[in-house]
A and B are shown apart, each in its own frame.
Chain A
Amino acid sequence: MKIVYADNNATTKVADEVIAEMLPYLGELYGNPSSMHTFGGQVGKKIQQARQRVADFINADPDEIVFTSCGTESDNAAINAAINAFPDKKHIITSNVEHPAINNLYKHLQKTKGYEVTFVPVDEKGFLDLDLLYKSMSDNTAIVSLMWANNETGVLFPIEEIAKKANEKGILFHTDAVQAAGKIPIDVKKTGVDMLSLSGHKIHAPKGIGVLYVKKGFKFSPLLIGGHQEKGRRGGTENTVSIIGLGKACELAKANLPIMDTRVRELRDYLQTQLLEKIPGSSVNGDLEQRLPSTLYIGFDAVEGESILLMLDREGICASSGSACTSGSLDPSHVLMAMKVPFKSAHGSIRFSLSHYNTKEEMDIIINTLVPVIQNLRDMSPFWKDGKMV
């Protein structure tokens, strides 16, 4: 069966060019990049190149790039460094729609370390309450950390504006740009963030490789204390193969940005328009404008997400849902709840996330499959009768 992969916010295909770049280093070029000999040194050189490519991707200096094991580690390292830099400041500001990669760390800090965490709420469109955010900033705030793009809705936070405010008040600012990277332009110099997290597997590099950008001048303390690797900012022999792959992926992502904003956006908009038109009782979660060009999070009244996914799965279509029943917990997604999306469509919300590998043909397959699937489930649902909610 042909797979229609529309779950790129979960993970992405490793690009062929990335695989080609990595293969020699998985095989004969296995040296340790820290070694004095030429055999290892050539790997070190290749890592330098990768670091430069990552830096170019986000307009940073190569020295500001720290390789980590994943986006989650980057997030944890950022918060950890902030806490260590300002041990007397016991307050953190974030949002109530963050990824578990960082959200659960906040809960941990609240519970075990006595931190006060302000979870700034979002409105129905997924926008932050900026007034409350700015009012919450105080001398006691160790760090403000906000995701750039939401992994479920794709809604974008005004990171540049917030970073500016934080800078003015002398508060450290971190952004989790794991979902933004490769989809919208990122320029750390222009944006003025102090730290920024990336994850390889969301931009066509392998899983298990991440980056933390750390602005020059910040007194960074490592999460993993060990060897001198990454200039003492992250101990452990480098994941050479993945770092090299990520370098290539960043180069490609930079080149592909215009495609995201044109062809991929058109595909997403086509999918969105068609589904809204062909399926009554459907609605898009999150703002339509301030949103990643590749994400469509759409809710269907009176049906449940897991059932939808399972029926799509039978046709080889890969997507995600905010449904409780797919996550192991029993409440629908905390993001939808934070946005006060009504239960009637929250449970039946499906996320399609595209990449430049997707085609118009695939959008048609999704549309032609989904229309009868929803109808089928509604025929079974006690909350749907004669074409509407009951």
Chain B
Amino acid sequence: MWDYTDQVKDHFLKPRNVGELEGANAIGETGSLNCGDALRLYLKVNENERILDASFMTFGCASAVASSSALTEIIKGMTLDEAAKLTNDDISDYLGGLPKAKMHCSVMGQSALKKAIANYRGVQILEKPGQMVCECFDVTDFEIIDAVKANGLKTTEDVTNYLKAGGGCGQCLDRIEEVIESVKAKG
């Protein structure tokens, strides 16, 4: 059975701000059809860098839709600097929490937002730093280290729940384990 909070169900069944946004001047895209979820975020930002409006299009499970919907609600009215500080936990908290195996949905929201902000500011998002660990889901060791530190992840399963890394062919699981161990070793 689905272990979703009432907020998740509500945002899934009655998603806010769905569809293309007229007059959008920033777009952030993350995920892909192959991955099983994808989010396109539209922002309308004024000259003071305030987000006047936001909308989304999402392909994915209920928590992906709910996370996208929540994200647009949260960031409306924020400045880009404020929005840039948003974490995946903020999205998850807004929804009263997400099941562990669905945390990557909130990460996806955060990632689309980052990309949209960079898109508005005309910043190229550079090649991701670090070494590629999971080819299936395009995740580097830097990203794993960040996620492990920020969320206190302990096992490869935790990492998969947050970043999806390791949830595909599984070839990278040993490597993920090494990365986790390296973080632990450094304390």
Q: Residues on A close to B: CB < 8 A?
A: 302-307, 310-311, 313-314, 323-326, 328-332, 343-344, 347, 379-383
Interface residue stretch chosen among B33-41, B75-83, B143-151: B33-41
Cα distance, A302 to B62, chains bound together (Å): 14
Q: Which residue of A lies closest to B39 (CB)?
A: A382
11 contacts between A and B (CB under 8 A): A307-B61, A314-B13, A323-B36, A323-B61, A324-B36, A324-B167, A326-B61, A331-B167, A347-B36, A380-B57, A382-B40
Instruction: Judge whether A380 and B58 touch: CB under 8 Å.
Output: yes
Partner of A329, one of B57, B102, B137, B167: B167
Residues of B within 8 A of A325 (CB): 36-37, 60-61, 102
Partner of A383, one of B12, B15, B59: B59
Partner of A304, one of B37, B160, B169: B37
Cα distance, A306 to B66, chains bound together (Å): 13
Instruction: Judge whether A332 and B36 touch: CB under 8 Å.
Output: yes
Most B CB contacts (10 A, CB to CB) among A305, A311, A330, A347 go to A330
Q: Provided the pairs A331-B168, A343-B33 are in contact, do residues A381 and B61 lie with their beta carbons within 8 angstroms?
A: no
Q: Check B153 for interface membership: any CB of A closer than 8 A.
A: no
Interface residues of B in 35-82 (CB under 8 A from A): 35-40, 57-62, 64-65
User: How many of B's residues come within 8 Å of A, CB to CB?
Assistant: 33
Cα distance, A324 to B65, chains bound together (Å): 15
Q: Provided the pairs A304-B37, A314-B13 are in contact, do residues A381 and B168 lie with their beta carbons within 8 angstroms?
A: no
Cα distance, A330 to B102, chains bound together (Å): 10
Closest beta carbon of chain A to B17's beta carbon, Å? 11
Residues of B within 8 A of A328 (CB): 101
Q: Residues on B close to A: CB < 8 A?
A: 2, 12-13, 15, 18-19, 29, 33-40, 57-62, 64-65, 101-102, 104, 136-137, 160, 164, 167-169
Cα distance, A302 to B38, chains bound together (Å): 10
Instruction: Judge whether B61 and A379 touch: CB under 8 Å.
Output: no
Instruction: Judge whether B13 and A304 touch: CB under 8 Å.
Output: no
Cα distance, A380 to B64, chains bound together (Å): 11
Instruction: Judge whether A343 and B34 touch: CB under 8 Å.
Output: yes
Residues of A within 8 A of B12 (CB): 307, 310
- Other than the given A304-B37, A347-B33, A382-B29, 9 more pairs (CB < 8 A) read A304-B36, A311-B13, A323-B36, A328-B101, A330-B104, A330-B167, A331-B169, A380-B65, A382-B40
Partner of B18, one of A329, A379, A383: A379
Cα distance, A332 to B61, chains bound together (Å): 12
Q: Which residue of B lies closest to A313 (CB)?
A: B2
Cα distance, A325 to B60, chains bound together (Å): 9
Instruction: Judge whether A382 and B58 touch: CB under 8 Å.
Output: yes
Instruction: Judge whether A383 and B62 touch: CB under 8 Å.
Output: no
